[in-house]
Structure 1
C-alpha cells in the first residue's frame, strides 16, 4: 500500500496542477488558444458540455487516441470516481461513485448502463472490444432514469459511433507492438447521390498471451478479435432522417477470464481444547482450505488444503489388495492433492495442464428515424436488436495437483484372486469424458451465456423559442438470457462411476465395475455425461452446473420539462414511471445426486439421476416513479468568461431479481438452512451541486461537483452453497470531483481530474463472512461437511473436543464431525450399512441439532458491517495528462504523458485484511507525428510504462473448493508503433 506521505504527495501534484492552471489563466489570456468545445447529447439534444447541468465527461475520438484509451476498461483514466474490474463469470463491474454491479445473477441489472448510440444494452461486449470509428464517449455520473433507456442508479456510459456523412472519406491504420501485437483499422464513407450514404469500418487485433503457463510452457491470455460496422443513412429532405447500423464483434482466443488464484493455506488446528490432533485427516476436516490473510503477503501465494475437500475424502474407496496384502485405495485416505506445492509470486505466471478457451460474439442492429413534425417539434424512434453469445473455459485453480490416483495393476480381491478384466485406472491414470486422462486431479470451469434483446424507444422533443421546452419518451425492452456455469473435476466423475454406480452383483474377478445408469437400474444411479466439453450435452450429474434462465420485460414512460425562469435561471423537472417484469426459471444443481430405483429414498440425497428438472418459475414485478429536479444559474462574473452553477435532486431505481437455485437435496437425507430466493430492488436519493467555468479567454475550463447519495438495498453477492447469493445493504455516499483542461497557448495542454469518495454502510447491517464464520468466537469452530452439503458450517468447540477425545477410529471421528453440520448421519441414511434410527452423535454422549442450536442454522455469526466502506469504491482517483506540440511547416510532433492514481479500496463489504486492495498508479506516454494536410499520422506509445501488476479486484470462490481468491490485474507494459492515413 502506498504510504500516506506518498498519497499526499501525489494528490498535491494534482491539486497543484489545478491551482497553477487557475492562477496562470488570467496572465496568459492574451496568448491563449481556446479549449475545444465538446458537443454532447447527455440530455438527448446537442449542447455544449459546459451548458449541461449534469456531471458528464466526454471524450472525442481525438481525445481517446491522444490518451490511448482503446476500450471501456481504460475510461478510469479519464473520469473521476470511476473504477473497473472484470468479473468472475461473463460480465464486468464498471463502478461510478462507488455504485457498480456487485450482484451476480442472470436476473440482475447493471447499475451503470452501457449504451450504444443511446440504446441501453443489458449484455454487451463494449468493454472487451476495442473502440472503432467512435465519434465520442460520454460518461454521465449519477442516476439517469429520465433521459436514458432504463433506470441506471450509477450512471451511463454512452458510446456514439460516427454515422455516414455527405463527404467521401477513408482511413487506414496499421500497428505493431510487443507480444507480437498486430492491429488493423480501416473505414470508408461513401455518399451515394444527394440523399444516401454508406459507411463501413473494420478492425482486427491479434497478439500473443500476457501470461506464461509453466506447466505446458505456453503463453496464454492472448487476443484474436475483430469488429465490423456497416451503417447507412438516408435523408430525402430536410424534415426526415434515418439510419441503420449493424455492428458485429467476434473473439476466439485463449484469453483468461480471471487472473491468478491466491490462497493462504489453512493446515487446520493442532489442538482443540485439551486434545492434541495428530491425524492429518482430522486436521483437514477442520480446515476451510484457505485463510483470510492479506493477498499481498508471501503466504497468499500458497495453495488450498486439498485434503479438506470432501470429494477427495470420499474417493478413498478400496480397489483391492496388492501382493503384500495391503488394501489399495483409489485415492489414499488423507491425500492432499496440493501437498508441498507453492506458487510463483509473478501474477502473470500460472501452472495448469489446461489452457483457457475464450469465445465471444456480439451483434447489434439499430434502426433510427427522425421526423420534424414542425419546425419546433421532432419525433425520434430508435429500434434495436442485440444478440450476445459467450463461452469461456479455464482451469478452475490455475495450479497443477500432484498425482493422486492409485494404480489397479497387479491387485487381488479379498479371496486372493487376481482382479482381471476392465481396469479403470490402468497404469494409475483415470479417464474423464470431459477432461481426458490423468493421474492428477483436474478441475476446469466453463462459463457460457446466450442472450438476446429487443428495444424500442420513442421520443418527442421540442425546440421552442420561448421559455418552455420539453422531451417526452416511452421505451420497451424485452430481454432473454440463458446463463450456465459448470465446474468439472475428474474426481467428481470417478465418484459418480465408482462410488455410486458400482454393480455389486458382478463377480469379484471383474473388480469394481460400473453398471449402466438407466431408468430401470435398481440401484443408486448418478448419470455420467459421456460427451466432450466442446459438444457438451449438459445433463450429467458428474459435474456442477448452475443453470439460469431469465426473461425480462420492462417498459417506461419518461419526460423532462425545461423552463427558463429568467434569462439566467432555468428549472428542469423530470419524471419516469418504470414497470419491470422478470420471470426466472430455476434449475437446481445436481452434483453427484442420483436416484435409487429400488427404493423411494436415495443415499446421495437426490431425486433424479439425469438432467436438471426446473422448479416453478419465479415471477417478479416492480414499478417505480423516479425523476430529477435541477435548478441551474448562469451568472455573469468578472473573473470568468462563462459560468454554470446547478443544484439537483434525483431519484434512482434498479430492479431486484432471483438468486440462482441451490442444490436439489432431499431434506430427509440432508438438511441445511434455507437462503433467500430473491433480492430486492435498489433505490437511491442523490443530491448534487456543481459548477462549470470557462476562464482566461477560453483557455481554461474548471468544473467541480459535490454529491451525496442515500442508498437503499444496494445489491452485493458472494458465493454461498455454490450459488451467487445476492444480499441488500443500505448505505450513504458523498464525494467531490474536479475536472480541468488548460491550454495557455497553441503548443501546451494540461488535462486533469480528481475525485474523492466517502462511502459508509448503514448501521445495523450484517452478513455472514464465508472466510470468517466464527467471527473470532473461540466457543465455535469451522467444520467441513459431507460432499452434498455445499458450504462449511460452525459447531460448538466443546462437541468437537468430545468427539476427538473418544477412543474411536479416526474414520469414525471424521464421520461424526461431518454429522455436526447436519446431514444424513442424523437419520442413518448416509451409510447403507448403518441402520440405527438414533442420531449418530449420541454415541458420543450428547445431542445436537445445528439447524436450531447454532447461529443462523450453523452457517455462522453475522459480521457487523456498520460503517464499513462499499466494495470497489476507492477514496481517491486522480489523473494528470500533459502534452506539448512542436510545429514545423506542415508537420507537428506531440509528446504526451498521463499519470493515473487510484487509492486503496475493498473487494468485499467486510473490509478485512483479506479484502484490502492497495492503491496503485499507472503511467502512459506517447509521441505523435502528424501531417494534417497529407492525412498522415505516425504514433509511438508505451502503456503501463513501469510494467506494474496491481491487484485491481478479487473474487472469493466457494467453500467446497477451498475459498481460493481469483485476482485481477492490469495489462503489462505495452509498446506499439502505428501509421495511419486519412483521405
Structure 2
C-alpha cells in the first residue's frame, strides 16, 4: 500500500433500532429482549432502544441450526435474501428487495469487527464478505434493514449485516468441537483464550469443515477440479487471531487477523422444465433439453449434469483490522480504525446447467467437452488464472461524545476506502459453444446433417467466445455527523448528514473471436472500441497475448451524493419505543465492465425510505417482546441489468454487412419503483423452559416508470428488453414466515440441560426474472408460458436436539436435521422458454449431523 492510502479518517456512528430476533429453535438469549446488546449505532445499546428494524442471531442459534455459510441466515430473516448464482463462496445479499445486479456494487454492506469486507474486482461475483468460515466464535450477527449510509462506511441502499467477533477476555478458557454427519460431513473447531497479562489478552481460533456435494452429477466428464465429491460440496479452512492490549487505562488497542481458504466444485443449475419440439435458430434445443431432463429425472430431484471437467469455486481471503480506542475524557471517545485485506477468487461454472450431447454420441460415452454444448459458461482467463484479485484498505476516525446532562449524544468522522487490483483478473465466457479446451479456443460442435440450420455450416457454435481481462480501482471518501437530543425524558430527536465521493476506474481488455470466420475483435462485441476486426491466419493462432495488449479501454466513473437521516423516538414507558424516520440512501455509479459497449458507465441510484416502528417488551407471567416496522421506499434511477439485442443490420466503413452481435446484457439506469411492506417479530416464554418465536415479513414492489436507454455511438445494439411497468422487482420475496419453538426439559443439574427445538420457514413464491414468453404472439416464442420466471413457494422444517453440560461435565452434544421433509427449494430461475427449457439452482436436501464440544477454563 502507498503511504497516502494509510492517512485516513473515518467517523462512523450507526443508526439503528432492532426488531427482536426470531428464535431459530433457541431463544435469542437466555434472558429477554431487554438483555440483548447490539452495536447498530456503532456504540453498545439495548436492542429495544435502537430505532432500526434489526434481526439478531447469537452463536448458539447459528450452531444449532447448522448454519455453515452466511447465506443460510437468509432462511431465518424476513426481508433478507441471497443471490448465490455463482455458488456459496460468492453470495451477495438483498434486503427488502434491493438486489445487486451482476458486477455492480453491493446493496448490502457486510461488516466484520466494524470494517466492511474486502471488495471483489468486478470481473465476476465474489468478495464483499459473504463467503464461508466467518460464522464461528461470534458475539452475534446483526441484520440492519434499510439504508445505513449515514454512519456506516460504504453507502448502500438495502442495509448492512454486522458480524461481531468475540473479543479476548481476562480468563483462560476455550473449547474443542467436532462435527460429523451424512454427505461425509466432517468438521473441527477450536478456540483458546489466553490472558497473558492484565493488560494483554489473546484469543486464537480456527475451523475446518468438509462435506460432499448435495447435487449428484450424472454427466460423464467429472464433478470438477476437486474430485468426485458431487456439486455443491464444502471444503474450507479459516483462522482468526485477536489481541487486546490496554496501552494505558484510557487507551485500548484491539487487533483482529483472519484468513480463509475455500475450494469446491461449485454449484450449477438443474433443468426444471423442457419443451420438446421447440426450435431456436433452426436447432431443436427443446429436444436436447428434454433428453437431459428425462435422464436427470430418473435419478431424483437433486441431480445435475456438469459439462466442465475443471468446474470450481475457490476463494482465498485475509484481512487485518486494528482499532485504537482513546477515552479522551468522561464525555468524549475517539476511535481510529485501520484495515487491509486481500481477496482472490477462481470460478469455472456452467451458468444454465445445460448438457446437450452431440447427436452421434450416446449418453455415457462422451469423453470430451467438444462433444457437449450448452448455453453459457464462465471460465478463468488463462492470462491471469484469477477471476477476482483485489486489495482493500479502509481507514476510519470516529469521535463520539455526550453532553454533561446526558441529553445530547453526537458522532462525527471521516471515512476512506481504497481498493486496488492485485494485477489483472478476468474470465472467458463461452456461449452456444462446446469446448474441449477454451484456453486454446478449441471450441466447436459438429452436428449431424438433419440438425444443420442455414448458415451454421455444420457446426453448432455461434462463434461466441469472450476473453476478458480487467484492472479495477475503487476510491471512496466520506465525512459525516449525527446527533441525538432528548427533548424530554420521553421524546428524542435525531439528525445525521453524510457526504460521499466515489470513483471507479477500470482498464478493460476484451477479445471476442468468431471461430467460424477466423476473425477476432477488440471490445464488445464486434469491434466497437478499437478495431473493426482482424483476420487470424494459421500462423497466428488463438490465444495471442499481443492481441489483448492492443485491446485496452480505460474509463472512469465518478459519483457523489449527500445522504441523511431525520428521526423521532418516543418512549412513553421504559420498555416501549415508538419511532419514525426518513432516510436517504445512495449507491454509487460505476462501470459495467464487459458490457456491450465495452466499459459502459452507469449513474448512481438513490432511495428515500420512510419507516414507522414499535418495539415493546414485557416481563410478568408470560415475558416476551414484540417489534413491528412498516416502511415505504421511493426508489429512483435504479441500476437494472437489461437484455440487449442486435436486430437491425450494421455495416463497416466499406459498406460490408457485419455479423449479427449475439444477445447480451448491460447495466443501465432506468425509471423508478416503490418497495413497501412491514416486518413483525414476536418472542414469548409462555412457561418455564418454553420459548416461542414468530417472524413475518411482507414486501410489495412495483415498477412505476421505465425509460429505455440510448445506445452509445457505434454500438451494434439497437433493441433493449425492458420489464413491464407495474411488474414487481425481480428477486423480491413478498412473503416470508418463520415459526420457532424450543423446550428445555425440567431435569436436575446433574443431568444437564436438554433442549428440543425446531424452526419452520415458509417462503412465498416470487419473481426471479421476467417471463420470456408471456404470450404466444411474443416475437420468437413457440407458445405462451406465463409465470415461467416465478420461483414457487417452499416450506422447510429444521429440527435440533441439544444436551448442554452432559452429566454435569463441561461437554455439550447436539443433533441437527435440516430440511426434514426433503423440500425441493428452487433459489432462482433461468427462463429460456424460447429455447426450449427452464433451469434453476436448488437448495440443499435433508441433511443431518452430530456435534460434540468440550469446554475448558472458566
TM-score exceeds 0.5: yes
Asked whether the equivalents of residues 656 and 681 of structure 1 are also in contact (C-alpha less than 8 Å), the reply is yes
Deviations 1:807-863 (A, max 9, x none): xxxxxxxxxxxxxxxxxxxxxxxxxxxxxxxxxxxxxxxxxxxx99xxx98855755
Q: Is 1:908 the counterpart of 2:769 in the alignment?
A: yes
Residues 1:76 and 2:79 are matched in the alignment: no
- Residue 99 of structure 1: aligned partner: 98
Does the 8 Å contact 1:184/1:203 carry over to 2? Answer: yes
- Write out aligned runs for 1:372-383 (5 A): 372-383=327-338
How does the TM-score come out when normalised to structure 1?
A: 0.68
Are residues 487 and 464 of structure 1, via their aligned partners in 2, closer, same or farther at CA, if it must alter by over 3 Å? Answer: same
User: Structure 1 residues 595, 948: closer, same or farther in 2, change over 3 A?
Assistant: closer
The 3 A distance-change label for structure 1 pair 53 and 556 is same
Alpha-carbon distance between aligned partners in 1 of 2:553 and 2:354, rounded to the nearest angstrom: 40
Instruction: Return the TM-score normalized by structure 2.
Output: 0.77
Which of 734, 747, 759 in structure 1 is aligned with 2:689? 747
Equivalent of 2:815 in 940, 952, 973 = 940
Residue of structure 1 in register with 2:157 after alignment: 153
Residues 14-53 of structure 1: pairs in structure 2 closer than 5 A? 34-35=32-33, 37-53=35-51
3-state SS in 2 of match to 1:100: coil
Give the 3-state SS of the residue equivalent to 2:62 in structure 1. Answer: helix
- Cα distance in 1 between the residues matched to 2:262 and 2:207: 12
Q: Which of the numbers 252, 267, 292 marks the counterpart of 1:241? A: 252
Q: Secondary structure at the match of 2:163?
A: strand
- Determine the C-alpha separation between the residues in 2 that align with 1:936 and 1:496: 56
Is 1:344 the counterpart of 2:297 in the alignment? Answer: yes
Give the equivalent residue in structure 2 for 1:830.
none
* CA distance in structure 1 between the partners assigned to 2:441 and 2:685 by the alignment: 72
Q: Which residue in 2 is equivalent to 1:363?
A: 318
2:338 pairs with 1:477: no
CA RMSD, aligned part only? 3.6
Give structure 2 stretches of 5+ with no counterpart: 1-19, 24-29, 120-126, 223-227, 381-386, 445-462, 522-530, 645-661, 775-785
Pairing of 1:853-932 with structure 2 (within 5 A): 860=719, 862-863=721-722, 865-890=724-749, 891-909=752-770, 912-931=786-805
Distance change (3 Å), C-alpha of 1:497 and 1:143: closer
What is the alpha-carbon distance in structure 2 between the residues aligned to residue 595 and residue 748 of structure 1?
A: 68
- Alpha carbons of structure 1 residues 399 and 126: separation in structure 2 relative to 1, 3 Å: closer
In structure 2, the CA distance between the partners of 1:239 and 1:662, relative to structure 1 (3 Å rule), is closer
- Please state how far the C-alpha of 1:236 moved relative to its aligned partner: 3.0
Alpha-carbon shift at residue 591 of structure 1 (Å):
2.5
Verify the 8 A CA contact 1:719 1:956 in the aligned structure 2: no
Q: Which position in structure 2 is the counterpart of 1:320?
A: none
Aligned with residue 270 of structure 2, among 255, 260, 276:
260
Greater CA drift, 603-612 or 583-592 = 603-612
Provide the rounded CA distance (Å) in 2 between the counterparts of 1:133 and 1:867: 45
Structure with higher strand content: 2
Cα 1:51–1:589 shift into 2, 3 Å:
same
Taking a change above 3 Å as real, the CA distance of residues 585 and 719 of structure 1, as seen in their structure-2 partners, is farther
Are the equivalent residues in 1 in contact too, given 2:90–2:130 (CA < 8 A)? no
Secondary structure, aligned partner of 2:729: coil
CA distance in 2, matches of 1:153, 1:463: 29
- Contact 1:894–1:928, Cα closer than 8 Å, also in 2: yes
The 3-state SS of whatever aligns with 2:746 is strand
Is the contact made by 2:110 and 2:129 (CA closer than 8 Å) also made in structure 1? no
More helix, by proportion: 1
Are residues 191 and 339 of structure 1, via their aligned partners in 2, closer, same or farther at CA, if it must alter by over 3 Å? closer
Call closer, same or farther: CA 1:655–1:608 in 2, change over 3 Å.
farther
Distance of 1:549 and 1:957 partners within structure 2: 33
Residue 976 of structure 1 corresponds to which residue in structure 2?
849
Structure 1 equivalent of residue 590 of structure 2:
657
Given that residues 811 and 854 in structure 2 are in contact (C-alpha distance below 8 angstroms), is that contact kept between their aligned partners in structure 1?
A: yes
Kindly state the Cα deviation for residue 385 of structure 1 after the two structures are TM-superposed. Answer: 1.1
Q: 1:445 aligns with which of 378, 381, 385?
A: 378
> Would you say the 8 A contact 1:737–1:754 is kept in 2?
yes
1:760-783: CA deviation from partner (whole Å, max 9, x where unpaired) = 001345699xxxxxxxxxxxxxxx
Contact 1:304 1:964 in 2 (8 A): yes
State which of 605, 611, 632 in structure 2 corresponds to 1:708.
632
Post-superposition Cα deviations, 1:379-402, rounded to whole Å, max 9, x if no partner, equal 101111111111122456645443
Q: Distance in 2 between matches of 1:264 and 1:871?
A: 23
Given the alignment, which residue of 473, 496, 501 partners 1:579?
A: 501
Distance 1:376 1:141, change over 3 A: same
CA distance in 1 between counterparts of 2:493 and 2:612 reads 14
Secondary structure of the residue aligned to 2:48 is helix
Is the Cα contact below 8 Å between 1:211 and 1:219 reproduced in 2?
no
Compare 60-69 and 935-944 and name the one that shifted more: 60-69
Distance 2:417 2:162 in 1: 17
Following superposition, the deviation at residue 864 of structure 1 comes to: 5.5
2:562 to 625, 641, 645: 625
Q: How far off its partner does 1:893 sit? A: 0.8
The residue correspondences of 1:773-922 to structure 2 (distance < 5 A) are: 860=719, 862-863=721-722, 865-890=724-749, 891-909=752-770, 912-922=786-796
Q: Report how far residue 206 of structure 1 moved.
A: 1.3
Q: Note closer, same or farther for the CA distance 1:112–1:164 as it changes in structure 2 (3 Å cut).
A: same
Give the conservation status (yes or no) of the 8 Å contact 1:886–1:894: yes
User: d(CA) in 2 for partners of 1:934 and 1:361?
Assistant: 38
Q: Indicate whether 1:646 and 2:566 are aligned.
A: no
Partner residue, 2:193: 189
Equivalences for 1:527-542 in 2 at 5 Å? none
- Counterpart CA distance in 1 for 2:240 and 2:478 is 29
Give the Cα separation in 2 of the matches to 1:266 and 1:591: 32
Q: Which segments of 5 or more consecutive residues in structure 1 lack a partner in the other structure?
A: 1-17, 22-31, 269-282, 291-301, 306-337, 407-428, 501-540, 664-673, 769-850
Matched residues in 1 for 2:471 and 2:832: separation? 22
* SS state at 1:588 partner: strand
Q: 2:469 is matched with which residue?
A: 547
Q: Say if 1:706 and 1:462 are closer, same or farther in 2 by CA, change over 3 A.
A: same
Distance across 1 between alignment mates of 2:414 and 2:720: 47
Structure 1 residue 981: Cα displacement: 1.4
Q: Give CA deviations for 1:616-637 in whole Å, capped at 9, x if unaligned.
A: 321211110111011000003x
Cα pair distance change 1:288/1:470, threshold 3 Å: farther
CA distance 1:767–1:964, shift in 2 (3 Å): farther
Q: Which runs of 4+ in 1 moved over 6 A?
A: 338-341, 492-500, 605-609
- 1:901 touches 1:919 (CA, 8 Å); kept in 2? yes
Three-state SS of the structure 1 residue aligned to 2:183 is: coil
After superposition, give the CA deviation of every residue in 1:215-245 in whole Å (9 maximum; x if it has no partner): 3484412211111101111013320111111
Name the SS of the counterpart of 1:110 in structure 2.
coil
